[in-house]
Amino acid sequence: MPSRFGSEYTPPPGSRVLVAMSGGVDSSVAAATLLRQGCEVIGVFMRLGSPGETLDTPIADDALRGVCNAEDRDDAGRIKIGKQGCCSINDAADARLVAAELGIPFYVVNFKKEFGRIIDYFVGEYAQGRTPNPCVRCNDWLKFGRLHEYAHSMGASFVASGHHARVAVRDGSPALLRGVDEPKDQSYVLFGAPRARLAEMLLPVGEMTKDQVREKAEELGLPTFDKPDSQEICFVPDNDYAGLVERRRPELARKGRIVDESGAPLGEHAGQHRFTIGQRRGVGVALGHPIFVVGKDPETNTVTVGERASLLSSSCTAAEANWLIDPPAPGERRRVIARYRAHGHDCPATVRVLPDLDAPTPSGRSAAFGVEFDEPQEAVAPGQAIVLYDANEPARVLGGGWIVRAGAAK
C-alpha cells in the first residue's frame, strides 16, 4: 500500500511503475515526477491505431527511436515534437522522445484489437439513438483494464497516468478525488475504474494546475511543455462522427422524419444518428423561434424537436453501476452531487440503488441506480455517464453509471 503524501499516494522508493505516456505534457510530467521520487519508471504508449495508418508502420527516424541528434532539437536545444493529436504515430514519437530525455525504458503496446471494441461501442450507441462517451470506456476497458494486466506481466506494482485527478486515503482505503485544477478535472472520466484498481493507480499531476504542469515541464526541459491539449476523439480526428458511423453502418444513412411533439411532420433528415438530445443548431427546421432535439427513435428513424422546457428531467435511471465505496443498501436514499456531462455542472441530488436491469449492457454489468435531481436538469441524454460525488466531501467520487432513461420534469 502506498504511503500518504498530502492528499495523494506516493509509491515507496524503488517501486516499479508503468506510466501511460500519451505524448502530452501531463503524462510527461507524471513520468518525470515519479522518476524524481526514486521510482523505477517504465514508459508505455498504447498504440490504438489511427485512421490511415497501420500498427506495423516502421519508425525509421532516429529521433523516433529516442536518438536525438542536432537536427532533432530546436534553437534552444529542446527536442522537437510532433503536431497536436491523440494516440497517433506523432504522439508515440513525442512520448518516445520524452522517455529518451528522461532516460527511461519505453515500449509501444499494440492494443488495436482491443480498441476495436471501443469503436464498435461508439457506433452501436449512435445506432441505438444514444450519446456515447468513448473516452470513459477507453479508461475502463483499456487504461485501467488491459494496461494494468500488462503492468502486472512486467512486474510493475503501479500504473500512473497524467489525468487531473487524485487518489487519496479515506478511512484506511484509497479514494478517487477531483483534481485541484477544477476546469481541467478528469475525475468524471475515471469513475469506471474498478475499485480494486485504486490502490494501484498513481496520478502525479492531480495536485497541480495545468499552468504548473507546463511550468514544471519547461523547468525539466521536457519537449512537450508547450504542446497543445488534444480536443478531438482519437478515432474521429476530423470530428465527422456521422461519417464514421455511416462507414461502419451504411444502412443508417437513410432519410427520416423530423416531427414536433404532437407527431406532426416538419421536415426530413439524413439519419437519426446525426442528432443528439439538446441539439439546437443544424436541426434543419426553422419555426421562427428556438427549437431543440428532444427525442429520437432509432426504430422509426424519427427525430422529435420541441421547446427547451421539454428537455428538462427531474430524474434518471443508470445501469452498469460502478461503486468506489461500499454501495448503499437497496432502497437506501443517499444525498450526492451528480454530474451527467464531463464538462457539465454539479447537481445536488438523491440516489438509491435499484433492482438489476434485464437489458444487456456494453460492459455486461446490469446493476442499476436511480437519481432524483433537486432541480430539473436539461438534456439528460441516454448513453452518457452520470458520476456521483459525496455531498459532504464534493471532491470525492462515490461511483457512477450509464444513463438508460431520463424522467420528464415534474
Farthest-apart Cα atoms in the chain, separation: 69
Q: How much is the pTM? A: 0.87
In angstroms, the CA 25 to CA 214 distance is: 7
In tens, the pLDDT along 190-235 reads 999 999 999 999 999 999 999 999 999 999 999 998 888 876 677 8
- Of the candidate ranges 2-11, 68-77, 232-241, 377-386, the one whose mean pLDDT is the lowest: 68-77
Residues 316-326: tens digit of each pLDDT: 999 999 999 99
Q: Directed axis angle between helix 241-248 and helix 112-127, to 10°?
A: 100
Instruction: List domains and CATH numbers for the chain.
Output: 3-219 (3.40.50.620), 254-306 (2.30.30.280), 310-408 (2.40.30.10)
Query: Quick check: 1 and 199 in contact, CB under 8 A?
Result: yes
Return d(Cα 267, Cα 284) in angstroms, integer. Answer: 8
- The pLDDT value recorded for residue 97 is 93
**Antiparallel, parallel or unpaired: β 158-160 and 201-202:** parallel
The three-class DSSP label of residue 147 is helix
| Confidence label for 7 from pLDDT (cuts 50, 70 and 90) | very low
Give the CA count within 13 Å in the CB-facing half-sphere of 254.
10
Cell triple for residue 372?
432524483
Nearest alpha-carbon partner for 13 in 25, 26, 3, 22: 3
Q: Does the structure show a pLDDT above 90 at 249? A: yes
Statement: residue 1 has pLDDT above 60: no
Tell me which of 39, 138, 316, 347 is the catalytic residue: 138
User: What are phi and psi for residue 322, nearest 5 degrees?
Assistant: -125, 110
Q: Is the model's pLDDT at 55 over the cut of 70?
A: no
Taking residue 286's Cβ as centre, other Cβ atoms within 10 Å add up to 9
Q: Is the model more confident about 89 or about 328?
A: 328
Distance of CA 221 to the CA centre of its chain: 28
For residue 138, indicate whether it is catalytic.
yes
pLDDT at 3: 39
Task: Supply φ then ψ for residue 374, to 5 degrees.
Answer: -65, -35
pLDDT at residue 345 in the model = 94
Report the distance separating Cα 347 and Cα 309, nearest Å.
Answer: 18
- Residue 37 makes CB contacts below 8 A (sequence gap 6+) with 10, 11, 13
- Residues in the chain, how many? 410
Q: How far apart are CA 264 and CA 271, in angstroms?
A: 18
**Residue 58 pLDDT greater than 90, yes or no:** no
Looking at per-residue pLDDT, the higher value among 278 and 146 belongs to 278
Asked if the model's pLDDT at residue 119 lies above 60, the reply is yes
Q: Looking at residue 87, what is its pLDDT?
A: 55
Question: What distances in angstroms separate CA 371 from CA 327, 330, 361, one per listed residue?
Answer: 14, 13, 19
Q: Which position among 87, 234, 316, 347 bears the catalytic label? A: 234
Instruction: Let me know: does 111 contact 117? Beta carbons within 8 Å.
Output: no
Residue pair 50/56 in contact by the 8 Å Cβ criterion: no
Percent of the chain scored above 70 by pLDDT? Answer: 84
Query: For residue range 286-309, what is the model confidence (pLDDT) as tens digits?
Result: 888 899 999 999 999 999 999 999
Q: Residue 30: which H helix or E strand, with range?
A: helix 25-36
Residue 121 contacts residue 132 (beta carbons within 8 Å) = yes
Place of cell 451504411: 250
- How many whole angstroms separate alpha carbon 76 and alpha carbon 307? 56
Average pLDDT over all residues of the chain? 86
Residue 393 scores a pLDDT above 70: yes
Other CB atoms within a 10 A radius of the CB of residue 289 amount to: 6
Q: Is the pLDDT of residue 57 over 60?
A: no
| DSSP code for 227 | P
- To the query of whether residue 39 is one of the catalytic residues in this protein, the response is no
pLDDT above 60 (res 360): no
